[in-house]
Amino acid sequence: MGNPREFQLPSYPGKRYFPYPTAITLDEQEIEWTNKKGTGRIAYREILAIELQVGDPDPGERPNACVIWTSGGAALSVFCDIAGREKHHELYADFIRFLHQQLSPEDRNRISFKTDGKLTPKADRLLVAGVVGLPAIALGLFLVVGHPAAVFMGLTVVEIVYVIAIMKLIPKEPRTYCPDPLDEKFIPR
């Protein structure tokens, strides 16, 4: 466990994206926060799920966020930046790591840890290969067979196999990850 630690990060009570600069303190038992909208507190034993949303690095895209869920719904959303103006990548990454350190092994087993269900790198590569490869396969079949109906049938079989392979690689929303140890791919880059 350890000593309490305070983080100055944008957050919002609930899930909506209207963050305010917030003082967030994590200690051995709870998360406490204060901003211009008020104060709040969540005991670790109240947390049902922690959702890590890994944003896109492109300007204007969805921000990195940690949404903490209780039985009442989204209790606190902590963000890496405020509408793209301020970036707190290192501090936000430290917050995520420290939060996981504060959770007891029992809490880590009880809490549902989720991501936003992005495609895996293997699924990304297979999608690109399909976009590039299917027209090449169609042309190859036409050159070998020479009959449009046979090419259509062969391409249909290839597409069915391709779709089945892609569907097995696409994560179910939301994807659950193992919190111990925390995988660095869920920390902003």
3-state secondary structure the chain: CCCCEEEEEEEECCCCCCCEEEEEEECCCEEEEEECCEEEEEEHHHCCEEEEECCCCCCCCCCCEEEEEECCEEEEEEECEECCCEECHHHHHHHHHHHHHHCCHHHHHHCEEEECCCCCHHHHHHHHHHHHHHHHHHHHHHHHHCCHHHHHHHHHHHHHHHHHHHHHHCCCCCCECCCCCCCHHHCCC
133-186 pLDDT tens trace = 777 777 777 778 777 777 777 777 877 887 777 777 665 555 566 777 777 777
64-81 pLDDT tens trace = 889 999 999 999 999 887
Note the pTM of the prediction, 2 decimals: 0.68
97-112 pLDDT tens trace = 999 999 998 898 889 8
